[in-house]
Amino acid sequence: MITFPHAKINLGLFVCHKRPSDGYHILQTLFYPIEWRDALEIIPEGNPGECRMVQTGLTIDGDPEQNLCVKAYRRLQHIFPDIPGCTIHLEKRVPFGAGLGGGSSDGAYTLVMLRDMFKLPASDADLEREAAAMGADCAFFVRCAKELSAQYCEGIGHELEPHALSLKGCWIVVVKPPFGVSTKEAYSNVHPQWPATPLCDLLQLPVEQWKDCVRNDFEDSVFPLHPELQQVKDTLYAHGAVYASMSGSGSACFGIFNEEPSAASTWFAEGYETFIHPADRT
C-alpha cells in the first residue's frame, strides 16, 4: 500500500493562552492542506509486532523508533498486540523544521494505512484520538487522509471544525530557507493574548484585507532571530502576493497570489526551496 502524505500551511495563527495545568497553548488557526507531499509505502512482512523503518529522500537523523511513522505503529500495537509486522518506507520530500507539518502528516497517514491494510476495528475518531497523542496537528492529517479540506482549530491543535474557505483561482508559493526553526525556539519569546477579534471572524474578510489583521504570532518571536524570514515575506509581497505569512512555528513562509506567479524560484538565493501550486486543488 502506498500513499502520499501532504503538507499544510496555517492561515493565521493566534497564540491565545497558556494553560497553567499542563503548559499547552490554546491556539486559533486554520489548517489548509497543500499539495507538497511525501511518499509513504507500507509492506506487510515480518513477525507480528515487528516494524522496520526505511527512509530515503531528505535525511532525518535520530533513532528510527522516534519517527512518527514508527510511533504510529507502536500506538496501534498497544491497542492491537497481534498487529502484523511491516516495513515502512518513507520517501521524504516535505522539509522538516518548516512549520508545514510533514512529520505529523507521515505519522497520521501511517495510522490510517495500517488500519485499512490490516482491517483493524478502529474508527476515524479513534485514529484522530491516537494521532492527537502523537502531536498537536496530527489529528488534522488523519481527517484529511480521506479527503483534503481546510479545518479550523481553536484549542491545542486537535479540536477541529471543517471550514468553507475558498481560495479558488489563487496560487500559493511556499518558501523554505536553508534552515529550520524548532518549536521550542518559536515558543521561547511568544506572548499569549486573546485577540480582540477571533480569527474565524477575520477569515470572513476578503483575502486582500488579511494583510493587516490575519497574523501569525510566532513572527514576533522568530523574525528577530532570523531576519531572513522577514526578507522572504517582504519579497513575496514585492512580487504581488495579496497575503503572506510564516506557516506554523517553522521557517517556511508562503504567499497567496491572485495569478500564477512567474519564475518564483528565482526570487530567492541558492539553498531556498520554493513550491508553487494552485490553491484550490484541495
Q: Residue 72 pLDDT > 50, yes or no?
A: yes
- Residue 155: domain span: 2-162
CATH number of the structural domain spanning residue 178: 3.30.70.890
Task: Specify whether 259 is located in the same domain as 143.
Answer: no
pLDDT for res 281 = 55
Q: Which of 9-23, 93-107, 142-156, 178-192 is most confident?
A: 93-107
Last residue of a domain, one of 137, 162, 187: 162
Task: Specify whether 46 is located in the same domain as 137.
Answer: yes
pLDDT for res 70 = 97
Q: Output the CA–CA distances (angstroms, integers) from residue 241 to 85, 111, 253, in the order listed.
A: 48, 36, 12
Active site residue: 38, 137, 176, 217, which one?
137
Task: Specify whether 107 is located in the same domain as 75.
Answer: yes
Task: Specify whether 194 is located in the same domain as 135.
Answer: no
Catalytic residue status for 8: yes
Structure confidence at residue 282 as a pLDDT band (50, 70, 90): very low
In whole angstroms, give the CA distance from residue 18 to residue 181: 21
Task: Specify whether 135 is located in the same domain as 183.
Answer: no
Task: Specify whether 17 is located in the same domain as 152.
Answer: yes
Portion of the chain with pLDDT greater than 70, in percent: 99
CATH number of the structural domain spanning residue 75: 3.30.230.10
Q: What is the mean pLDDT of residues 107-113?
A: 97
Joined together, the cell numbers standing for residue 102 give 510533514
CA angle, 276 as apex, 272 and 281 as ends, to 5°?
150
Portion of the chain with pLDDT greater than 90, in percent: 82
Task: Specify whether 115 is located in the same domain as 185.
Answer: no
Q: What is the mean pLDDT of residues 265-280?
A: 93
Q: What is the number of residues in the chain?
A: 282
pLDDT for res 14 = 96
Q: Output the CA–CA distances (angstroms, integers) from residue 167 to 4, 207, 224, 258, in the order listed.
A: 22, 9, 30, 9
Q: Which residue has the cell 523508533?
A: 65
Kindly report, residue by residue over 175-229, the tens digit of the pLDDT: 999 999 988 888 888 889 999 999 999 999 999 999 999 999 999 999 999 999 9
- Count of structural domains, the chain: 2
Task: Specify whether 62 is located in the same domain as 155.
Answer: yes
Kindly report, residue by residue over 47-57, the tens digit of the pLDDT: 999 999 999 99
Structure confidence at residue 83 as a pLDDT band (50, 70, 90): very high
Task: Specify whether 9 is located in the same domain as 71.
Answer: yes
Least reliable range by pLDDT among 16-20, 28-32, 33-37, 267-271:
16-20
By the 8 A CB rule, do 276 and 126 touch? no
**Please, what is the average pLDDT of the chain?**
93
Task: Specify whether 188 is located in the same domain as 63.
Answer: no
In whole angstroms, give the CA distance from residue 268 to residue 262: 13
Task: Specify whether 203 is located in the same domain as 225.
Answer: yes
Active site residue: 8, 71, 92, 233, which one?
8
Catalytic residue status for 176: no
Task: Specify whether 97 is located in the same domain as 43.
Answer: yes
Q: Residue 58 pLDDT > 70, yes or no?
A: yes
Q: Which residue has the cell 517556511?
A: 252
Among left, alpha and beta (phi > 0; psi -120 to 50; other), residue 143 is alpha
Kindly report, residue by residue over 217-247, the tens digit of the pLDDT: 999 999 999 999 999 999 999 999 999 999 9
In whole angstroms, give the CA distance from residue 45 to residue 42: 9
